[in-house]
Chains A and B, each alone.
Chain A
Protein backbone atom coordinates (compact mmCIF):
# COMPACT_ATOMS: atom_id res chain seq x y z
CA UNK A 1 0.00 0.00 0.00
CA UNK A 2 0.87 3.66 -0.14
CA UNK A 3 3.48 4.97 2.29
CA UNK A 4 3.05 8.33 4.02
CA UNK A 5 5.94 10.03 5.79
CA UNK A 6 5.57 13.17 7.86
CA UNK A 7 8.34 15.39 9.11
CA UNK A 8 9.38 16.50 11.58
CA UNK A 9 7.90 14.02 14.08
CA UNK A 10 8.08 16.60 16.87
CA UNK A 11 8.26 20.38 16.80
CA UNK A 12 8.47 22.87 19.65
CA UNK A 13 7.86 26.55 18.95
CA UNK A 14 7.59 29.80 20.79
CA UNK A 15 4.32 31.63 20.33
CA UNK A 16 4.48 33.85 17.25
CA UNK A 17 6.93 31.66 15.30
CA UNK A 18 6.25 30.22 11.85
CA UNK A 19 6.58 26.57 10.87
CA UNK A 20 6.37 24.21 7.91
CA UNK A 21 5.22 20.61 8.16
CA UNK A 22 5.95 18.20 5.33
CA UNK A 23 4.15 15.11 4.03
CA UNK A 24 5.71 12.78 1.45
CA UNK A 25 3.73 9.98 -0.16
CA UNK A 26 4.83 7.08 -2.32
CA UNK A 27 2.12 6.86 -5.00
CA UNK A 28 -0.36 8.96 -6.92
CA UNK A 29 -3.29 10.21 -4.85
CA UNK A 30 -6.71 11.69 -5.46
CA UNK A 31 -7.28 12.66 -1.85
CA UNK A 32 -5.05 14.51 0.56
CA UNK A 33 -6.29 16.01 3.79
CA UNK A 34 -4.58 17.74 6.69
CA UNK A 35 -6.09 17.29 10.14
CA UNK A 36 -5.33 18.82 13.51
CA UNK A 37 -5.97 16.57 16.49
CA UNK A 38 -6.27 18.77 19.54
CA UNK A 39 -5.26 17.71 23.07
CA UNK A 40 -8.85 16.54 23.68
CA UNK A 41 -8.62 14.07 20.81
CA UNK A 42 -10.93 15.89 18.42
CA UNK A 43 -10.02 15.64 14.73
CA UNK A 44 -10.35 18.98 12.99
CA UNK A 45 -10.33 19.03 9.21
CA UNK A 46 -7.92 21.77 8.11
CA UNK A 47 -7.65 21.29 4.36
CA UNK A 48 -8.83 19.01 1.60
CA UNK A 49 -6.04 19.55 -0.89
CA UNK A 50 -5.22 16.77 -3.40
CA UNK A 51 -3.44 19.45 -5.49
CA UNK A 52 -2.76 23.16 -5.53
CA UNK A 53 -2.65 25.74 -2.76
CA UNK A 54 -5.22 26.84 -0.21
CA UNK A 55 -5.20 29.34 2.63
CA UNK A 56 -7.36 29.69 5.70
CA UNK A 57 -6.33 32.47 8.05
CA UNK A 58 -2.89 31.75 9.49
CA UNK A 59 -2.76 28.33 7.88
CA UNK A 60 -2.01 27.45 4.30
CA UNK A 61 -1.23 24.25 2.43
CA UNK A 62 0.34 23.30 -0.86
CA UNK A 63 0.28 19.92 -2.57
CA UNK A 64 2.51 19.12 -5.53
CA UNK A 65 0.97 15.85 -6.63
CA UNK A 66 3.46 15.21 -9.44
CA UNK A 67 6.33 15.34 -6.92
CA UNK A 68 4.33 13.50 -4.24
CA UNK A 69 4.50 15.90 -1.35
CA UNK A 70 2.40 18.36 0.56
CA UNK A 71 3.33 21.20 2.90
CA UNK A 72 1.35 22.76 5.74
CA UNK A 73 2.38 26.27 6.79
CA UNK A 74 1.48 27.71 10.17
CA UNK A 75 2.24 31.38 10.65
CA UNK A 76 2.26 33.38 13.88
CA UNK A 77 1.67 30.23 15.90
CA UNK A 78 -0.55 30.30 18.99
CA UNK A 79 -0.72 27.97 21.98
CA UNK A 80 -4.06 26.68 20.67
CA UNK A 81 -2.20 25.33 17.63
CA UNK A 82 -0.65 22.65 19.85
CA UNK A 83 -1.56 19.05 19.06
CA UNK A 84 -0.86 16.48 16.40
CA UNK A 85 -1.06 17.29 12.71
CA UNK A 86 -1.92 14.38 10.44
CA UNK A 87 -1.46 14.12 6.71
CA UNK A 88 -3.95 11.66 5.20
CA UNK A 89 -3.87 10.40 1.62
CA UNK A 90 -6.08 8.30 -0.60
CA UNK A 91 -4.65 6.31 -3.49
CA UNK A 92 -5.98 7.02 -6.96
CA UNK A 93 -6.55 3.30 -7.40
CA UNK A 94 -8.56 2.83 -4.23
CA UNK A 95 -11.11 4.30 -1.89
CA UNK A 96 -9.36 4.13 1.46
CA UNK A 97 -7.29 6.67 3.33
CA UNK A 98 -3.88 6.12 4.87
CA UNK A 99 -2.74 8.25 7.79
CA UNK A 100 0.79 9.42 8.36
CA UNK A 101 2.31 9.08 11.83
CA UNK A 102 1.71 12.76 12.54
CA UNK A 103 3.74 15.76 13.70
CA UNK A 104 3.44 16.58 17.38
CA UNK A 105 3.44 20.38 17.67
CA UNK A 106 3.92 22.16 20.98
CA UNK A 107 3.60 25.95 21.07
CA UNK A 108 4.89 27.51 24.27
CA UNK A 109 3.71 30.92 25.52
Chain B
Protein backbone atom coordinates (compact mmCIF):
# COMPACT_ATOMS: atom_id res chain seq x y z
CA UNK B 1 0.00 0.00 0.00
CA UNK B 2 1.25 3.47 -0.90
CA UNK B 3 -0.79 5.08 1.91
CA UNK B 4 -1.38 8.78 1.28
CA UNK B 5 0.40 10.35 -1.69
CA UNK B 6 0.52 13.97 -2.83
CA UNK B 7 1.26 15.51 -6.21
CA UNK B 8 3.32 17.62 -6.83
CA UNK B 9 6.02 17.68 -4.13
CA UNK B 10 7.15 21.22 -4.96
CA UNK B 11 5.67 24.09 -6.95
CA UNK B 12 6.45 27.75 -7.57
CA UNK B 13 3.65 30.02 -8.75
CA UNK B 14 3.36 33.66 -9.66
CA UNK B 15 0.70 35.79 -8.00
CA UNK B 16 -2.63 35.30 -9.74
CA UNK B 17 -1.85 31.88 -11.21
CA UNK B 18 -3.99 28.87 -10.46
CA UNK B 19 -3.11 25.30 -9.60
CA UNK B 20 -4.51 22.07 -8.22
CA UNK B 21 -2.93 19.80 -5.63
CA UNK B 22 -3.85 16.14 -5.77
CA UNK B 23 -4.13 13.82 -2.78
CA UNK B 24 -4.69 10.10 -3.23
CA UNK B 25 -5.17 7.35 -0.64
CA UNK B 26 -5.46 3.60 -1.09
CA UNK B 27 -6.76 2.70 2.38
CA UNK B 28 -10.47 3.03 1.52
CA UNK B 29 -10.82 5.85 4.05
CA UNK B 30 -14.06 7.80 4.11
CA UNK B 31 -12.59 11.03 5.49
CA UNK B 32 -9.95 13.18 3.83
CA UNK B 33 -8.38 16.48 4.95
CA UNK B 34 -6.24 19.31 3.65
CA UNK B 35 -3.97 21.24 6.07
CA UNK B 36 -1.44 24.01 5.67
CA UNK B 37 1.65 24.53 7.78
CA UNK B 38 3.35 27.90 8.01
CA UNK B 39 6.89 28.28 9.37
CA UNK B 40 7.18 27.59 13.09
CA UNK B 41 3.54 26.61 13.46
CA UNK B 42 1.38 23.55 13.73
CA UNK B 43 -0.94 22.44 10.96
CA UNK B 44 -4.26 24.21 10.36
CA UNK B 45 -7.25 22.61 8.66
CA UNK B 46 -8.29 24.16 5.33
CA UNK B 47 -11.10 21.88 4.14
CA UNK B 48 -12.16 18.33 4.74
CA UNK B 49 -14.47 15.72 3.23
CA UNK B 50 -16.58 13.10 5.00
CA UNK B 51 -17.27 11.13 1.85
CA UNK B 52 -17.38 11.11 -1.92
CA UNK B 53 -19.15 14.21 -3.24
CA UNK B 54 -19.07 16.08 0.09
CA UNK B 55 -16.78 18.83 1.37
CA UNK B 56 -16.73 21.14 4.38
CA UNK B 57 -14.79 24.19 5.52
CA UNK B 58 -12.10 23.99 8.12
CA UNK B 59 -10.29 26.66 10.08
CA UNK B 60 -8.70 28.59 7.17
CA UNK B 61 -10.77 27.96 4.00
CA UNK B 62 -10.54 31.37 2.28
CA UNK B 63 -8.82 31.35 -1.12
CA UNK B 64 -9.13 27.57 -1.58
CA UNK B 65 -11.64 25.23 -3.18
CA UNK B 66 -11.81 21.46 -2.94
CA UNK B 67 -13.49 18.55 -4.68
CA UNK B 68 -13.99 14.86 -3.86
CA UNK B 69 -15.28 13.26 -7.04
CA UNK B 70 -13.80 9.87 -6.18
CA UNK B 71 -13.46 8.31 -2.75
CA UNK B 72 -9.72 7.86 -3.11
CA UNK B 73 -8.91 11.40 -4.33
CA UNK B 74 -9.19 14.84 -2.73
CA UNK B 75 -8.24 17.89 -4.79
CA UNK B 76 -7.21 21.29 -3.42
CA UNK B 77 -7.44 24.24 -5.80
CA UNK B 78 -6.04 27.73 -5.70
CA UNK B 79 -7.90 29.88 -8.23
CA UNK B 80 -5.75 33.00 -7.89
CA UNK B 81 -2.62 32.37 -5.85
CA UNK B 82 -1.39 35.00 -3.38
CA UNK B 83 1.95 35.26 -1.55
CA UNK B 84 0.08 34.59 1.73
CA UNK B 85 -0.61 31.08 0.42
CA UNK B 86 3.08 30.22 0.44
CA UNK B 87 3.12 27.24 2.77
CA UNK B 88 3.55 23.50 3.06
CA UNK B 89 0.33 21.63 2.34
CA UNK B 90 -0.43 18.27 3.92
CA UNK B 91 -3.19 15.88 3.02
CA UNK B 92 -4.52 13.26 5.45
CA UNK B 93 -7.15 10.55 5.53
CA UNK B 94 -8.97 8.47 8.14
CA UNK B 95 -11.83 6.08 8.64
CA UNK B 96 -15.17 7.50 9.77
CA UNK B 97 -14.91 8.65 13.41
CA UNK B 98 -16.41 6.12 15.76
CA UNK B 99 -16.33 5.12 19.36
CA UNK B 100 -12.72 4.08 18.93
CA UNK B 101 -11.74 7.41 17.43
CA UNK B 102 -10.12 7.98 14.08
CA UNK B 103 -6.37 7.84 13.46
CA UNK B 104 -5.28 10.17 10.68
CA UNK B 105 -2.59 9.22 8.18
CA UNK B 106 -0.61 12.01 6.52
CA UNK B 107 0.98 12.43 3.13
CA UNK B 108 4.54 13.72 2.59
CA UNK B 109 3.50 17.32 1.92
CA UNK B 110 3.64 19.78 -0.99
CA UNK B 111 5.88 22.82 -0.66
CA UNK B 112 4.24 25.76 -2.47
CA UNK B 113 5.88 29.14 -3.05
CA UNK B 114 3.91 32.05 -4.49
CA UNK B 115 6.04 34.91 -5.80
Residues of A within 8 A of B (CB): 30-33, 35, 41-43, 45, 48, 50, 86, 88, 90, 95-97, 99-102
Contacts and interface: CB of A to CB of B under 8 A. Distances in A.
B102 A42 contact: no
Interface of B: 31, 33, 41-45, 48, 50, 58, 88, 90, 97, 99-106, 108-109, 111
B105 A45 contact: yes
Nearest to A6: B42
Contact of A42 (B33, B100, B109): B109
Given A42-B108, A43-B109, A90-B97, A30 B102 contact: yes
A31 B90 contact: no
B101 A31 contact: yes
A63 to B, nearest CB: 11
